[in-house]
Chain A
Amino acid sequence: MRRGPRVGDVVVLLLLAAWAVPYFWQVRTSFTPDSELLATKHVVPQNPTLIHYRAVAEKSVMPRALGNSLGVASLTTLLALLLGVPAAYAIARLPLPGKGLLLLIVIASTAFPQIATVSPLYLLLRTLGLRDTWTALVLANTSFALPLLVWLLAGFIREIPLELEEAAFLDGAGRPAVLRLVVLPLIAPGVVSAALLTFLAAWNEFLFAYTFTATEASRTVPVALALFPGVFEIPWGDIAAASILASLPPVIIVIALQRWLVHGLVAGALKD
Protein backbone atom coordinates (compact mmCIF):
# COMPACT_ATOMS: atom_id res chain seq x y z
CA MET A 1 0.00 0.00 0.00
CA ARG A 2 1.20 3.48 -0.81
CA ARG A 3 2.06 5.75 2.10
CA GLY A 4 1.73 9.50 2.29
CA PRO A 5 -1.16 11.77 1.40
CA ARG A 6 -3.30 10.88 -1.60
CA VAL A 7 -4.87 13.40 -3.95
CA GLY A 8 -8.35 12.64 -2.61
CA ASP A 9 -7.23 13.26 0.95
CA VAL A 10 -5.76 16.63 0.04
CA VAL A 11 -8.92 17.65 -1.82
CA VAL A 12 -11.08 16.84 1.21
CA LEU A 13 -8.74 18.79 3.49
CA LEU A 14 -8.86 21.78 1.14
CA LEU A 15 -12.66 21.68 1.03
CA LEU A 16 -12.86 21.52 4.82
CA ALA A 17 -10.37 24.38 5.06
CA ALA A 18 -12.65 26.32 2.71
CA TRP A 19 -15.56 25.60 5.06
CA ALA A 20 -13.55 27.16 7.90
CA VAL A 21 -12.76 30.31 5.87
CA PRO A 22 -15.35 32.49 7.71
CA TYR A 23 -13.31 31.93 10.86
CA PHE A 24 -9.93 32.42 9.20
CA TRP A 25 -11.25 35.62 7.65
CA GLN A 26 -12.13 36.91 11.10
CA VAL A 27 -8.58 36.05 12.26
CA ARG A 28 -7.28 38.07 9.31
CA THR A 29 -9.61 40.96 10.10
CA SER A 30 -8.43 41.06 13.70
CA PHE A 31 -4.87 41.81 12.49
CA THR A 32 -5.84 44.27 9.75
CA PRO A 33 -5.57 48.04 10.38
CA ASP A 34 -8.76 50.06 9.88
CA SER A 35 -7.29 51.81 6.84
CA GLU A 36 -7.25 48.50 4.93
CA LEU A 37 -10.47 47.04 6.29
CA LEU A 38 -13.08 48.66 4.11
CA ALA A 39 -11.20 48.09 0.87
CA THR A 40 -10.41 44.41 0.58
CA LYS A 41 -7.58 44.10 -1.94
CA HIS A 42 -5.16 41.63 -0.41
CA VAL A 43 -5.78 38.35 1.33
CA VAL A 44 -2.97 39.03 3.79
CA PRO A 45 -3.02 42.47 5.44
CA GLN A 46 -0.17 44.67 4.16
CA ASN A 47 0.46 46.24 7.55
CA PRO A 48 -0.58 43.67 10.17
CA THR A 49 -1.29 45.20 13.53
CA LEU A 50 -2.14 44.31 17.11
CA ILE A 51 -4.04 47.56 17.59
CA HIS A 52 -7.44 45.85 17.75
CA TYR A 53 -6.30 43.44 20.46
CA ARG A 54 -4.85 46.33 22.40
CA ALA A 55 -8.13 48.23 22.11
CA VAL A 56 -10.11 45.20 23.28
CA ALA A 57 -7.73 44.56 26.20
CA GLU A 58 -7.57 48.15 27.37
CA LYS A 59 -10.83 49.82 26.46
CA SER A 60 -13.52 47.15 26.42
CA VAL A 61 -15.25 45.00 29.03
CA MET A 62 -13.89 41.90 27.30
CA PRO A 63 -11.16 41.07 29.87
CA ARG A 64 -13.74 41.16 32.63
CA ALA A 65 -16.16 39.11 30.50
CA LEU A 66 -13.49 36.49 29.82
CA GLY A 67 -12.98 36.16 33.57
CA ASN A 68 -16.73 35.84 34.12
CA SER A 69 -17.11 33.24 31.40
CA LEU A 70 -14.18 31.21 32.66
CA GLY A 71 -15.57 31.27 36.19
CA VAL A 72 -19.18 30.54 35.23
CA ALA A 73 -18.30 27.76 32.79
CA SER A 74 -15.87 26.09 35.23
CA LEU A 75 -18.28 26.24 38.15
CA THR A 76 -21.13 25.00 35.96
CA THR A 77 -19.02 22.02 34.92
CA LEU A 78 -18.07 21.30 38.52
CA LEU A 79 -21.61 21.54 39.85
CA ALA A 80 -23.06 19.48 36.98
CA LEU A 81 -20.49 16.73 37.65
CA LEU A 82 -21.12 16.77 41.40
CA LEU A 83 -24.84 16.37 40.84
CA GLY A 84 -24.64 14.24 37.73
CA VAL A 85 -22.14 11.50 38.55
CA PRO A 86 -24.03 9.97 41.52
CA ALA A 87 -27.35 10.38 39.68
CA ALA A 88 -25.98 8.63 36.59
CA TYR A 89 -24.67 5.78 38.74
CA ALA A 90 -28.02 5.36 40.48
CA ILE A 91 -29.88 5.34 37.17
CA ALA A 92 -27.48 2.84 35.63
CA ARG A 93 -27.09 0.48 38.56
CA LEU A 94 -29.46 0.94 41.49
CA PRO A 95 -33.12 0.02 42.02
CA LEU A 96 -35.16 3.22 41.97
CA PRO A 97 -38.90 3.58 42.37
CA GLY A 98 -40.40 5.01 39.17
CA LYS A 99 -37.19 4.78 37.19
CA GLY A 100 -39.01 4.84 33.87
CA LEU A 101 -40.75 8.09 34.72
CA LEU A 102 -37.47 9.51 35.99
CA LEU A 103 -35.72 8.76 32.71
CA LEU A 104 -38.62 10.25 30.79
CA ILE A 105 -38.29 13.49 32.78
CA VAL A 106 -34.54 13.59 32.17
CA ILE A 107 -34.96 13.07 28.42
CA ALA A 108 -37.94 15.40 28.07
CA SER A 109 -36.12 18.18 29.89
CA THR A 110 -33.33 18.13 27.29
CA ALA A 111 -36.00 19.17 24.80
CA PHE A 112 -37.38 22.06 26.93
CA PRO A 113 -36.88 25.27 24.93
CA GLN A 114 -34.85 27.82 26.87
CA ILE A 115 -37.10 30.57 25.52
CA ALA A 116 -40.03 28.97 27.37
CA THR A 117 -38.29 28.55 30.74
CA VAL A 118 -36.38 31.83 30.63
CA SER A 119 -39.21 34.04 31.95
CA PRO A 120 -40.13 31.91 35.00
CA LEU A 121 -36.42 31.46 35.73
CA TYR A 122 -35.96 35.20 35.51
CA LEU A 123 -38.76 35.77 38.03
CA LEU A 124 -37.38 33.03 40.27
CA LEU A 125 -33.81 34.36 40.23
CA ARG A 126 -35.05 37.90 40.81
CA THR A 127 -37.05 36.77 43.82
CA LEU A 128 -33.95 35.06 45.20
CA GLY A 129 -31.98 38.27 44.69
CA LEU A 130 -29.60 36.55 42.29
CA ARG A 131 -29.88 38.85 39.26
CA ASP A 132 -26.54 39.82 37.79
CA THR A 133 -24.56 37.19 39.73
CA TRP A 134 -22.40 34.24 38.74
CA THR A 135 -24.63 32.05 40.91
CA ALA A 136 -27.66 32.73 38.73
CA LEU A 137 -25.80 31.73 35.57
CA VAL A 138 -24.21 28.66 37.14
CA LEU A 139 -27.61 27.43 38.34
CA ALA A 140 -29.37 28.14 35.04
CA ASN A 141 -26.59 26.58 32.96
CA THR A 142 -26.42 23.53 35.20
CA SER A 143 -30.14 22.98 34.76
CA PHE A 144 -29.85 22.64 30.99
CA ALA A 145 -26.50 20.80 30.97
CA LEU A 146 -27.42 18.25 33.62
CA PRO A 147 -29.84 15.97 31.70
CA LEU A 148 -27.39 15.41 28.85
CA LEU A 149 -24.54 14.81 31.29
CA VAL A 150 -26.54 12.25 33.29
CA TRP A 151 -27.61 10.53 30.08
CA LEU A 152 -24.04 10.31 28.77
CA LEU A 153 -22.50 9.12 32.04
CA ALA A 154 -25.21 6.52 32.67
CA GLY A 155 -24.38 5.09 29.24
CA PHE A 156 -20.67 4.89 30.08
CA ILE A 157 -21.36 3.28 33.47
CA ARG A 158 -23.56 0.57 31.88
CA GLU A 159 -20.57 -0.50 29.78
CA ILE A 160 -18.50 -1.45 32.84
CA PRO A 161 -18.66 -5.20 33.53
CA LEU A 162 -20.71 -5.83 36.68
CA GLU A 163 -18.12 -8.33 37.92
CA LEU A 164 -15.67 -5.54 38.68
CA GLU A 165 -18.12 -3.94 41.07
CA GLU A 166 -19.12 -7.31 42.57
CA ALA A 167 -15.50 -7.99 43.45
CA ALA A 168 -15.38 -4.74 45.40
CA PHE A 169 -18.58 -5.64 47.26
CA LEU A 170 -17.08 -8.95 48.32
CA ASP A 171 -14.23 -6.95 49.78
CA GLY A 172 -16.79 -5.15 51.91
CA ALA A 173 -16.99 -1.83 50.08
CA GLY A 174 -20.26 0.16 50.11
CA ARG A 175 -21.85 1.81 47.08
CA PRO A 176 -20.19 5.22 47.59
CA ALA A 177 -16.78 3.57 47.84
CA VAL A 178 -17.47 1.46 44.74
CA LEU A 179 -18.47 4.56 42.83
CA ARG A 180 -15.37 6.44 43.89
CA LEU A 181 -12.77 3.68 43.71
CA VAL A 182 -14.01 1.36 40.95
CA VAL A 183 -16.48 3.15 38.70
CA LEU A 184 -15.02 6.65 38.50
CA PRO A 185 -11.53 5.58 37.38
CA LEU A 186 -13.07 3.34 34.71
CA ILE A 187 -15.32 6.05 33.26
CA ALA A 188 -12.69 8.78 33.56
CA PRO A 189 -12.48 9.33 29.77
CA GLY A 190 -16.28 9.59 29.65
CA VAL A 191 -16.25 12.07 32.52
CA VAL A 192 -13.70 14.18 30.65
CA SER A 193 -15.92 14.11 27.54
CA ALA A 194 -19.04 15.05 29.46
CA ALA A 195 -17.15 17.80 31.28
CA LEU A 196 -15.87 19.24 28.00
CA LEU A 197 -19.34 19.29 26.46
CA THR A 198 -20.75 20.95 29.58
CA PHE A 199 -17.98 23.54 29.66
CA LEU A 200 -18.47 24.29 25.98
CA ALA A 201 -22.24 24.64 26.34
CA ALA A 202 -21.81 26.98 29.32
CA TRP A 203 -19.12 29.02 27.55
CA ASN A 204 -21.32 29.46 24.46
CA GLU A 205 -24.63 30.02 26.26
CA PHE A 206 -26.26 33.33 25.35
CA LEU A 207 -29.98 33.60 26.13
CA PHE A 208 -29.79 33.06 29.91
CA ALA A 209 -26.62 35.14 30.23
CA TYR A 210 -28.15 37.98 28.22
CA THR A 211 -31.33 37.96 30.31
CA PHE A 212 -30.00 37.42 33.83
CA THR A 213 -27.06 39.81 33.73
CA ALA A 214 -27.16 43.59 33.90
CA THR A 215 -23.60 44.83 34.34
CA GLU A 216 -20.06 43.75 33.71
CA ALA A 217 -20.07 42.14 37.15
CA SER A 218 -21.47 38.99 35.56
CA ARG A 219 -21.73 39.56 31.79
CA THR A 220 -20.17 36.65 29.94
CA VAL A 221 -18.22 36.74 26.69
CA PRO A 222 -21.14 36.12 24.28
CA VAL A 223 -23.12 38.92 25.96
CA ALA A 224 -20.21 41.34 25.89
CA LEU A 225 -19.67 40.51 22.22
CA ALA A 226 -23.34 40.94 21.33
CA LEU A 227 -23.37 44.31 23.10
CA PHE A 228 -19.99 45.43 21.72
CA PRO A 229 -20.22 49.19 21.55
CA GLY A 230 -19.83 51.17 18.37
CA VAL A 231 -20.52 54.86 18.69
CA PHE A 232 -20.57 56.21 15.13
CA GLU A 233 -19.08 53.38 13.14
CA ILE A 234 -19.02 49.68 13.78
CA PRO A 235 -15.48 48.82 14.98
CA TRP A 236 -15.11 45.72 12.76
CA GLY A 237 -11.47 45.16 13.68
CA ASP A 238 -12.08 45.36 17.42
CA ILE A 239 -15.10 43.06 17.11
CA ALA A 240 -12.97 40.60 15.15
CA ALA A 241 -10.28 40.63 17.86
CA ALA A 242 -12.94 40.18 20.54
CA SER A 243 -14.51 37.25 18.69
CA ILE A 244 -11.14 35.54 18.31
CA LEU A 245 -10.61 35.85 22.06
CA ALA A 246 -14.15 34.56 22.67
CA SER A 247 -13.44 31.53 20.52
CA LEU A 248 -10.17 30.50 22.17
CA PRO A 249 -11.53 27.79 24.50
CA PRO A 250 -13.67 26.16 21.76
CA VAL A 251 -10.72 26.26 19.36
CA ILE A 252 -8.39 24.71 21.94
CA ILE A 253 -10.96 22.00 22.67
CA VAL A 254 -11.44 21.19 18.99
CA ILE A 255 -7.72 20.99 18.29
CA ALA A 256 -6.05 19.72 21.46
CA LEU A 257 -8.86 17.83 23.19
CA GLN A 258 -10.57 16.58 20.04
CA ARG A 259 -10.48 12.91 21.01
CA TRP A 260 -12.60 13.45 24.13
CA LEU A 261 -14.95 15.87 22.43
CA VAL A 262 -15.70 13.41 19.63
CA HIS A 263 -16.01 10.55 22.12
CA GLY A 264 -18.74 12.38 24.04
CA LEU A 265 -20.58 13.72 21.02
CA VAL A 266 -20.74 10.36 19.33
CA ALA A 267 -21.63 8.40 22.49
CA GLY A 268 -24.65 10.62 23.07
CA ALA A 269 -26.07 9.97 19.63
CA LEU A 270 -25.10 6.41 18.79
CA LYS A 271 -26.50 4.95 22.00
CA ASP A 272 -30.24 5.05 22.45
Chain B
Amino acid sequence: MTARERADRRTGLLFVAPALLALASLTVYPGLWVLWLSLQQRIPIFGISRFVGFQHFAFLAGDARFWNAARVTLVFTGVSVALELALGLAVALALQRQRSGRRLALSLLLLAWALPSVVTAKLFEWLYHPSAGLVNVILGGHAFNWLGDPRLALAGLIAADVWRTMPFVALLCYARLLTIAPEVYEAARVDGAGRVATLAWITLPLLRSILLVALLFRTLDALRAFDLMFVLTGGGPAGTTETLTVYAYRSLFQTLQLGFGAAIGCVIFALVMLVAWGYLRALRGEGATA
Protein backbone atom coordinates (compact mmCIF):
# COMPACT_ATOMS: atom_id res chain seq x y z
CA MET B 1 0.00 0.00 0.00
CA THR B 2 1.46 3.32 -1.01
CA ALA B 3 1.40 6.41 1.15
CA ARG B 4 -1.27 7.90 -1.05
CA GLU B 5 -3.51 4.84 -0.75
CA ARG B 6 -3.19 4.99 3.02
CA ALA B 7 -4.01 8.68 2.99
CA ASP B 8 -7.02 8.05 0.70
CA ARG B 9 -8.33 5.41 3.06
CA ARG B 10 -8.14 7.83 5.96
CA THR B 11 -9.71 10.66 3.98
CA GLY B 12 -12.48 8.35 2.78
CA LEU B 13 -13.45 7.40 6.32
CA LEU B 14 -13.28 11.02 7.37
CA PHE B 15 -15.54 12.04 4.47
CA VAL B 16 -18.27 9.44 5.05
CA ALA B 17 -18.19 9.51 8.86
CA PRO B 18 -20.47 12.54 9.44
CA ALA B 19 -23.10 11.39 6.93
CA LEU B 20 -22.92 7.83 8.22
CA LEU B 21 -23.31 9.01 11.79
CA ALA B 22 -26.39 11.06 10.86
CA LEU B 23 -27.89 8.16 8.92
CA ALA B 24 -27.10 5.65 11.65
CA SER B 25 -28.59 7.71 14.47
CA LEU B 26 -31.59 9.19 12.64
CA THR B 27 -32.66 6.36 10.30
CA VAL B 28 -31.00 3.01 11.02
CA TYR B 29 -31.23 3.28 14.81
CA PRO B 30 -34.95 4.28 14.76
CA GLY B 31 -35.47 1.54 12.16
CA LEU B 32 -34.15 -1.05 14.61
CA TRP B 33 -35.68 0.57 17.65
CA VAL B 34 -39.16 0.32 16.14
CA LEU B 35 -38.75 -3.47 16.00
CA TRP B 36 -37.98 -3.49 19.72
CA LEU B 37 -40.82 -1.06 20.41
CA SER B 38 -43.29 -3.34 18.63
CA LEU B 39 -42.59 -6.05 21.21
CA GLN B 40 -43.60 -3.80 24.07
CA GLN B 41 -46.70 -2.42 25.65
CA ARG B 42 -45.94 1.30 25.82
CA ILE B 43 -48.68 3.67 26.89
CA PRO B 44 -46.87 6.74 28.24
CA ILE B 45 -49.89 8.51 29.75
CA PHE B 46 -50.52 5.55 32.06
CA GLY B 47 -46.82 5.02 32.65
CA ILE B 48 -47.10 1.53 31.17
CA SER B 49 -43.94 0.08 29.66
CA ARG B 50 -43.41 -3.67 29.59
CA PHE B 51 -42.26 -6.41 27.27
CA VAL B 52 -45.09 -8.40 25.68
CA GLY B 53 -43.30 -10.32 22.93
CA PHE B 54 -45.31 -10.89 19.78
CA GLN B 55 -48.64 -10.15 21.47
CA HIS B 56 -49.38 -7.12 19.24
CA PHE B 57 -48.79 -9.15 16.10
CA ALA B 58 -50.99 -11.96 17.41
CA PHE B 59 -53.71 -9.39 18.05
CA LEU B 60 -53.30 -7.89 14.56
CA ALA B 61 -53.81 -11.33 12.99
CA GLY B 62 -57.39 -11.34 14.27
CA ASP B 63 -58.02 -7.59 14.07
CA ALA B 64 -60.74 -6.74 11.52
CA ARG B 65 -59.67 -3.08 11.44
CA PHE B 66 -56.13 -4.14 10.55
CA TRP B 67 -57.26 -6.40 7.71
CA ASN B 68 -59.53 -3.67 6.39
CA ALA B 69 -56.62 -1.22 6.44
CA ALA B 70 -54.41 -3.78 4.68
CA ARG B 71 -57.06 -4.23 2.00
CA VAL B 72 -57.49 -0.46 1.55
CA THR B 73 -53.70 -0.06 1.29
CA LEU B 74 -53.42 -2.74 -1.38
CA VAL B 75 -56.38 -1.47 -3.40
CA PHE B 76 -55.10 2.10 -3.15
CA THR B 77 -51.59 1.03 -4.20
CA GLY B 78 -52.67 -1.30 -7.00
CA VAL B 79 -55.21 1.00 -8.63
CA SER B 80 -53.21 4.24 -8.18
CA VAL B 81 -49.99 2.81 -9.53
CA ALA B 82 -51.69 1.12 -12.51
CA LEU B 83 -53.46 4.35 -13.48
CA GLU B 84 -50.33 6.44 -12.96
CA LEU B 85 -48.23 4.19 -15.16
CA ALA B 86 -50.82 4.02 -17.95
CA LEU B 87 -51.55 7.76 -17.95
CA GLY B 88 -47.90 8.71 -17.43
CA LEU B 89 -46.86 6.58 -20.39
CA ALA B 90 -49.56 8.15 -22.58
CA VAL B 91 -48.49 11.67 -21.61
CA ALA B 92 -44.82 10.87 -22.26
CA LEU B 93 -45.65 9.56 -25.73
CA ALA B 94 -47.66 12.70 -26.46
CA LEU B 95 -44.81 14.89 -25.25
CA GLN B 96 -42.32 13.03 -27.44
CA ARG B 97 -44.01 14.45 -30.53
CA GLN B 98 -44.09 17.95 -29.04
CA ARG B 99 -42.07 20.42 -31.14
CA SER B 100 -42.84 23.74 -29.47
CA GLY B 101 -43.82 24.82 -25.98
CA ARG B 102 -42.00 21.96 -24.23
CA ARG B 103 -41.01 24.14 -21.31
CA LEU B 104 -44.57 25.29 -20.76
CA ALA B 105 -45.76 21.71 -21.14
CA LEU B 106 -43.34 20.50 -18.46
CA SER B 107 -44.34 23.36 -16.14
CA LEU B 108 -48.01 22.42 -16.44
CA LEU B 109 -47.16 18.76 -15.98
CA LEU B 110 -44.83 19.05 -13.00
CA LEU B 111 -46.98 21.55 -11.10
CA ALA B 112 -49.19 18.83 -9.60
CA TRP B 113 -46.17 16.76 -8.61
CA ALA B 114 -44.28 19.59 -6.92
CA LEU B 115 -47.07 20.74 -4.58
CA PRO B 116 -47.05 19.66 -0.94
CA SER B 117 -49.50 16.77 -0.60
CA VAL B 118 -51.32 18.70 2.10
CA VAL B 119 -52.05 21.38 -0.50
CA THR B 120 -53.29 18.67 -2.87
CA ALA B 121 -55.58 17.42 -0.13
CA LYS B 122 -57.00 20.92 0.37
CA LEU B 123 -57.43 21.39 -3.40
CA PHE B 124 -59.43 18.20 -3.75
CA GLU B 125 -61.44 18.70 -0.58
CA TRP B 126 -62.80 21.85 -2.20
CA LEU B 127 -63.18 20.28 -5.66
CA TYR B 128 -65.24 17.50 -4.06
CA HIS B 129 -67.53 19.87 -2.11
CA PRO B 130 -71.01 18.30 -2.46
CA SER B 131 -72.82 21.45 -3.67
CA ALA B 132 -70.18 23.96 -4.79
CA GLY B 133 -67.31 21.69 -5.80
CA LEU B 134 -66.10 21.91 -9.38
CA VAL B 135 -66.39 18.15 -9.89
CA ASN B 136 -70.12 18.06 -9.21
CA VAL B 137 -70.68 21.30 -11.13
CA ILE B 138 -69.01 19.76 -14.18
CA LEU B 139 -71.01 16.55 -13.73
CA GLY B 140 -74.15 18.65 -14.14
CA GLY B 141 -75.11 19.68 -10.65
CA HIS B 142 -75.19 16.27 -8.97
CA ALA B 143 -74.74 16.31 -5.23
CA PHE B 144 -72.32 13.39 -4.96
CA ASN B 145 -70.72 13.44 -1.55
CA TRP B 146 -67.34 12.26 -2.79
CA LEU B 147 -65.56 12.20 0.53
CA GLY B 148 -68.54 11.39 2.72
CA ASP B 149 -69.99 8.43 0.84
CA PRO B 150 -68.32 5.10 1.74
CA ARG B 151 -68.79 3.90 -1.84
CA LEU B 152 -67.03 6.93 -3.38
CA ALA B 153 -64.36 8.04 -0.92
CA LEU B 154 -61.61 5.61 -1.93
CA ALA B 155 -62.13 6.46 -5.61
CA GLY B 156 -61.95 10.16 -4.75
CA LEU B 157 -58.74 9.59 -2.83
CA ILE B 158 -57.17 7.55 -5.63
CA ALA B 159 -58.04 10.25 -8.18
CA ALA B 160 -56.24 12.84 -6.06
CA ASP B 161 -53.19 10.60 -5.77
CA VAL B 162 -53.11 9.87 -9.50
CA TRP B 163 -53.35 13.60 -10.19
CA ARG B 164 -50.37 14.23 -7.94
CA THR B 165 -48.03 11.48 -9.08
CA MET B 166 -48.77 10.75 -12.73
CA PRO B 167 -46.41 13.61 -13.75
CA PHE B 168 -43.48 11.81 -12.12
CA VAL B 169 -44.03 8.70 -14.24
CA ALA B 170 -44.57 10.83 -17.34
CA LEU B 171 -41.34 12.74 -16.79
CA LEU B 172 -39.26 9.58 -16.34
CA CYS B 173 -40.68 7.98 -19.49
CA TYR B 174 -40.31 11.23 -21.43
CA ALA B 175 -36.66 11.56 -20.40
CA ARG B 176 -36.01 8.00 -21.57
CA LEU B 177 -37.75 8.69 -24.89
CA LEU B 178 -35.46 11.67 -25.48
CA THR B 179 -32.43 9.36 -25.32
CA ILE B 180 -33.66 7.19 -28.20
CA ALA B 181 -31.64 8.07 -31.29
CA PRO B 182 -33.72 9.40 -34.22
CA GLU B 183 -31.89 6.90 -36.47
CA VAL B 184 -33.73 4.07 -34.72
CA TYR B 185 -37.07 5.48 -35.87
CA GLU B 186 -35.66 6.31 -39.26
CA ALA B 187 -34.58 2.69 -39.73
CA ALA B 188 -38.00 1.45 -38.67
CA ARG B 189 -39.65 3.75 -41.20
CA VAL B 190 -37.37 2.55 -43.96
CA ASP B 191 -38.26 -1.03 -43.05
CA GLY B 192 -41.91 -0.10 -43.54
CA ALA B 193 -43.00 -0.20 -39.90
CA GLY B 194 -46.22 1.73 -39.26
CA ARG B 195 -46.99 3.80 -36.18
CA VAL B 196 -48.46 0.93 -34.19
CA ALA B 197 -45.64 -1.44 -35.08
CA THR B 198 -43.03 1.18 -34.15
CA LEU B 199 -44.72 1.74 -30.80
CA ALA B 200 -45.10 -1.96 -30.04
CA TRP B 201 -41.71 -3.17 -31.26
CA ILE B 202 -39.39 -0.22 -30.67
CA THR B 203 -40.69 2.40 -28.25
CA LEU B 204 -42.33 0.22 -25.61
CA PRO B 205 -39.46 -2.30 -25.33
CA LEU B 206 -37.03 0.59 -24.91
CA LEU B 207 -39.25 2.02 -22.15
CA ARG B 208 -39.43 -1.28 -20.32
CA SER B 209 -36.60 -0.68 -17.86
CA ILE B 210 -37.67 2.87 -16.93
CA LEU B 211 -41.25 1.67 -16.47
CA LEU B 212 -39.95 -0.95 -14.04
CA VAL B 213 -38.06 1.74 -12.13
CA ALA B 214 -41.19 3.92 -12.04
CA LEU B 215 -43.22 0.91 -10.93
CA LEU B 216 -40.86 0.29 -8.01
CA PHE B 217 -40.67 3.93 -6.89
CA ARG B 218 -44.41 4.41 -7.15
CA THR B 219 -45.32 1.16 -5.42
CA LEU B 220 -43.04 1.92 -2.49
CA ASP B 221 -44.40 5.45 -2.20
CA ALA B 222 -48.02 4.35 -2.46
CA LEU B 223 -47.56 1.74 0.28
CA ARG B 224 -46.01 4.42 2.50
CA ALA B 225 -48.44 7.21 1.56
CA PHE B 226 -49.89 9.03 4.52
CA ASP B 227 -50.33 12.80 4.12
CA LEU B 228 -52.99 12.74 1.44
CA MET B 229 -55.46 10.39 3.12
CA PHE B 230 -54.77 11.71 6.57
CA VAL B 231 -55.67 15.27 5.56
CA LEU B 232 -58.25 14.60 2.84
CA THR B 233 -60.42 11.93 4.46
CA GLY B 234 -58.76 11.13 7.77
CA GLY B 235 -59.37 7.47 6.92
CA GLY B 236 -63.15 7.92 6.79
CA PRO B 237 -65.96 7.50 6.10
CA ALA B 238 -66.40 4.32 8.11
CA GLY B 239 -62.75 3.35 7.60
CA THR B 240 -63.14 3.01 3.83
CA THR B 241 -59.97 5.03 3.21
CA GLU B 242 -58.04 4.04 6.32
CA THR B 243 -54.69 2.72 5.12
CA LEU B 244 -52.16 0.93 7.33
CA THR B 245 -50.23 4.18 7.68
CA VAL B 246 -53.27 6.05 8.99
CA TYR B 247 -54.12 3.19 11.38
CA ALA B 248 -50.52 3.19 12.61
CA TYR B 249 -50.55 6.96 13.12
CA ARG B 250 -53.83 6.94 15.02
CA SER B 251 -52.56 4.18 17.29
CA LEU B 252 -49.26 5.95 17.87
CA PHE B 253 -50.29 9.51 18.46
CA GLN B 254 -54.04 9.64 18.99
CA THR B 255 -54.68 6.67 21.25
CA LEU B 256 -51.00 6.82 22.32
CA GLN B 257 -50.31 3.10 22.14
CA LEU B 258 -46.70 3.41 21.06
CA GLY B 259 -45.95 -0.32 21.07
CA PHE B 260 -49.06 -1.30 19.15
CA GLY B 261 -48.60 1.50 16.61
CA ALA B 262 -44.98 0.46 16.18
CA ALA B 263 -46.17 -3.07 15.39
CA ILE B 264 -48.32 -1.76 12.53
CA GLY B 265 -45.35 0.36 11.44
CA CYS B 266 -43.27 -2.83 11.34
CA VAL B 267 -45.84 -4.52 9.11
CA ILE B 268 -45.59 -1.60 6.64
CA PHE B 269 -41.82 -1.78 6.95
CA ALA B 270 -41.86 -5.49 6.11
CA LEU B 271 -44.25 -4.94 3.20
CA VAL B 272 -42.02 -2.24 1.70
CA MET B 273 -38.85 -4.29 2.10
CA LEU B 274 -40.58 -7.33 0.62
CA VAL B 275 -41.60 -5.37 -2.48
CA ALA B 276 -38.11 -3.89 -2.89
CA TRP B 277 -36.49 -7.31 -2.46
CA GLY B 278 -38.88 -9.00 -4.87
CA TYR B 279 -38.25 -6.28 -7.40
CA LEU B 280 -34.47 -6.61 -7.18
CA ARG B 281 -34.76 -10.39 -7.55
CA ALA B 282 -36.97 -10.07 -10.59
CA LEU B 283 -34.56 -7.55 -12.08
CA ARG B 284 -31.58 -9.82 -11.46
CA GLY B 285 -33.42 -12.75 -13.08
CA GLU B 286 -34.13 -10.56 -16.07
CA GLY B 287 -30.51 -9.42 -16.33
CA ALA B 288 -29.45 -13.09 -16.45
CA THR B 289 -31.78 -13.95 -19.32
CA ALA B 290 -31.28 -10.77 -21.33
**CB pairs A–B below 8 angstroms (14 shown):** A5-B99, A16-B108, A20-B108, A37-B132, A39-B132, A87-B18, A96-B13, A115-B226, A120-B30, A123-B258, A222-B118, A243-B122, A251-B111, A266-B172
Verify A143–B27 contact, CB threshold 8 A: yes
Neighbouring A residues of B245 by C-beta, 8 Å: 113, 115
Q: Which residue of B lies closest to A142 (CB)?
A: B22
- With A113-B268, A146-B23 as given contacts, are A90 and B118 in contact (CB-CB < 8 Å)? no
- Chain A nearest CB, measured from B110 CB (Å): 5
- With A9-B100, A29-B126, A246-B119 as given contacts, are A19 and B163 in contact (CB-CB < 8 Å)? yes
Neighbouring A residues of B115 by C-beta, 8 Å: 23, 204, 247, 250
Annotate A75-117 by CB proximity to B: 1 below 8 A, 0 otherwise: 0000000111011011100111100001001101101111111
| Cβ of B31 under 8 Å from chain A | yes
Verify B132–A116 contact, CB threshold 8 A: no
| Cβ of B188 under 8 Å from chain A | no
| Cβ of A225 under 8 Å from chain B | yes
Verify B19–A84 contact, CB threshold 8 A: yes
- With A9-B99, A114-B224 as given contacts, are A120 and B23 in contact (CB-CB < 8 Å)? no
A61–B123 CA distance with the chains assembled, in angstroms: 20
Verify B114–A116 contact, CB threshold 8 A: no
A30–B230 CA distance with the chains assembled, in angstroms: 23
| Cβ of B117 under 8 Å from chain A | yes
| Cβ of A231 under 8 Å from chain B | no
- Number of contact residues on A: which range applies? 35 or more
**Contact residues of B with A, CB < 8 Å?**
4-5, 7-9, 11-16, 18-20, 22-23, 26-31, 33-34, 37, 91, 94-95, 97-101, 103-112, 114-124, 126-127, 129, 131-132, 134, 137, 163, 166-168, 171-172, 175-176, 179, 210, 213-214, 217, 220, 223-224, 226-227, 230-231, 245, 248-249, 252-253, 258, 261-262, 265-266, 268-269, 272-273, 276
- With A20-B108, A250-B116 as given contacts, are A115 and B127 in contact (CB-CB < 8 Å)? no
Verify A120–B34 contact, CB threshold 8 A: yes
Verify A247–B116 contact, CB threshold 8 A: yes
A38–B130 CA distance with the chains assembled, in angstroms: 10
Residue from B7, B28, B163 within 8 A of A175 (CB atoms): B7
Residue from B12, B116, B122, B179 within 8 A of A94 (CB atoms): B12
Verify B123–A25 contact, CB threshold 8 A: yes
In this complex, the member of B122, B210, B217, B245 whose beta carbon has the largest number of chain A beta carbons within 10 angstroms is B122
A111–B273 CA distance with the chains assembled, in angstroms: 7
What are the 9 tightest A-B residue pairs by CB atom distance, in nearest-first order? A143-B26, A94-B12, A87-B19, A120-B30, A90-B15, A250-B114, A86-B15, A120-B33, A116-B265
Q: Which residue of A lies closest to B9 (CB)?
A: A95
| Cβ of A4 under 8 Å from chain B | yes
- Chain B nearest CB, measured from A163 CB (Å): 16
Neighbouring A residues of B132 by C-beta, 8 Å: 37-40, 236
